[in-house]
Structure 1
């Protein structure tokens, strides 16, 4: 296999550290020279210490033509001076700008992993059509290989001819299954739910607080742990202020901020809940399933590919706080059923969501270049 110089492009160094690191290490260990272009928010030094060439680029996580053009020029300069053979892009805005830059730089291979197409079924018709058209245009004219984590995204891209089928791959998603394992909770602790995610509106965290307020009014001992960052770089700064207000109003909620040891945290709870408005194929659900926790999630792309309604947990409608509260109460009142759902989720995670398989598919692709 020929060694390649591969530039990975994403919005933030924290994304590279938390989401892409297993792939980055596998590419490095396979003999490829890996660079990373992203905004430096504090994790770049740790990545550089692992042998990756870091490129700090200015990047807005929204459409801003002046800023976006600066980002494109920066990536073009990196690609040309670094003599990169391939660029592999991630996250919506960074992926779009990185592909435009790669075409301008004449980069030989352009790979895009869609962790979840930005357009989705809950968008308004005009916004959906606009973002759909941009994604399709970029796939056709500025992408050599399109990798889809979501099976639904793959079927759509194939059906709508985003690329020739041989240039599409259903990549899937997975976790390191050796890090997560079932472990029974000790003692008679109160039933505890866990949410892990960014404190932003699209993660459904405000609906979760409202639903939990309903639950705890009926079941006073139930607890909720929330783990996730409130980053200054987020476009949505409004939700965190309302979130902090609601924390003071609702009992039995513990906010832990960013948590590094997710496996240990999952051992401390009984069920996982993720009421997102939009997802790709969320790792947090897989991690909960691998720890044999029942999962309540919204009936959207990605989540419904992971959670089997009524078998490994429950699917609820987006924004439906009443339905969410009812399903949370169902788990509290039926602990044996919750345990059985957790076991079924564990078996599903072991069978379908192994990170090693996902990484191998990508290594195999790069080996053909």
Structure 2
């Protein structure tokens, strides 16, 4: 409605899609409805910004708009000082953290199942996020993992919490371009994440972390076992992730690209 109202007043419209509701692994009916809605809305839009190249290509594939109308600008986060980290001692539990709301989009269950079959039990998992975590808690009880998991609920001090972690996990069903991964990279953490949508545009396999197929608990278990065994590699990947964040995903990178696009639209339609 906002786009239609702006167009009726002759005001240019720039819309940022933070992930499409018709992306892979979203329920089929929901995908269909939202694709139709976004295609209609695109007629009233001067430019569409997608936060991942995956989403741009998806929109073009689904004929939401033409190539000229749509541009990729990755999310960015404020630059904070790098935390002081060192290689975690082998005898200490690997501190794994996942910051994500409990709900259909995220796949906490696959992470728990992977941990239950991993070769090593030298780990501790922290879940941070709102929503109903009862189903995840019940699964942890069933798998005998409850004493190795902390549920912190919704928190505002994420940067400070990340400083106490060794490995960031985002195991999920669908995404756009997750800001939580950028937060982890900023915190100098390696990332293990489900390879969906634009995740691979942030996480470089084998360099800043690991990508795992959707709902592949065995592959995820093997990655976690590697991280527990190879602490120096975990540390080195975290450093590489921080460098990649600084070079590509700061708020300034995002702001400069957005401003350039806004200026382009004003010159064309102003």
Of residues 247, 259, 262, the one that matches 2:155 is 259
Distance in 2 (CA, whole Å) between partners of 1:156 and 1:170 is 12
Q: Give per-residue Cα distances to partners, 1:321-358, cap 9 Å, x unaligned.
A: 22212211111111122122222222211111111121
Q: CA deviation at 1:278?
A: 0.7
SS in 1 for 2:152: strand
Structure 1 partner of 2:135? 242
Counterpart CA distance in 2 for 1:264 and 1:159 is 41
* Cα distance, 1:246 vs structure 2: 3.1
Residues in 1 aligned to 2:70 and 2:161: alpha-carbon distance in whole angstroms: 36
Partner of 2:45: 143
**Cα deviation, residue 226, structure 1:** 0.8
Q: Which runs of 5+ in 1 are unaligned?
A: 1-96, 231-236
Most deviating of 259-268 and 243-252: 243-252
Q: Is 1:116–2:19 an aligned residue pair?
A: yes
Counterpart among 13, 35, 58 of residue 132 in structure 1: 35
Q: Secondary structure at the match of 1:203?
A: coil
Deviation at 1:106, TM superposition (A): 4.0
Q: CA deviation at 1:137?
A: 2.5
Pair 1:99-2:11 in alignment:
no
User: Which residue is equivalent to 1:219?
Assistant: 120
Instruction: Give the Cα separation in 1 of the matches to 2:28 and 2:126.
Output: 36
C-alpha distance in 1 between matches for 2:217 and 2:105: 14
Q: Residues 185 and 268 of structure 1 are in contact (CA less than 8 Å); yes or no, is this contact kept in structure 2? A: no
The residue correspondences of 1:12-31 to structure 2 (distance < 5 A) are: none
Q: Scaled by the length of structure 1, what TM-score is found?
A: 0.64
Of 90, 96, 99, 1:196 maps to 99
Aligned to 1:338: 234
Task: Identify the residue that residue 75 of structure 2 maps to in structure 1.
Answer: 173
Whether 1:304 aligns to 2:200 is yes
Query: Relative to structure 1, is the Cα distance of residues 174 and 298 closer, same or farther in structure 2, using a 3 angstrom cutoff?
Result: same
Aligned residue in 2 for 1:207: 110
What is the root-mean-square deviation in Å for CA atoms of aligned residues? 2.5
**1:263-283: CA deviation from partner (whole Å, max 9, x where unpaired):** 211110110000111111111
Question: In the aligned structure 2, how far is the partner of 1:196 from the partner of 1:219?
Answer: 23
SS at match of 1:201: coil
Residue 152 of structure 1 deviates from its aligned partner by 1.6
- Partners in 2 of 1:158 and 1:359 — Cα distance? 24
Displacement of 1:362 in angstroms is 2.7
Once the two structures are superposed, residues 219-266 of structure 1 have per-residue CA deviations (whole angstroms, 9 ceiling, x without a partner) of 333101111111xxxxxx6xx321232344412111111121222111
CA offsets 1:44-96 (integer angstroms, 9 cap, x no match): xxxxxxxxxxxxxxxxxxxxxxxxxxxxxxxxxxxxxxxxxxxxxxxxxxxxx
- Distance in 2 of aligned mates of 1:243 and 1:100: 41
Higher relative contact order (CA 8 A, sep 6+): 2
TM-score by length of 2: 0.85
Residue 211 of structure 1: CA displacement? 1.8
Contact 2:168-2:191 at 8 Å conserved across structures: yes
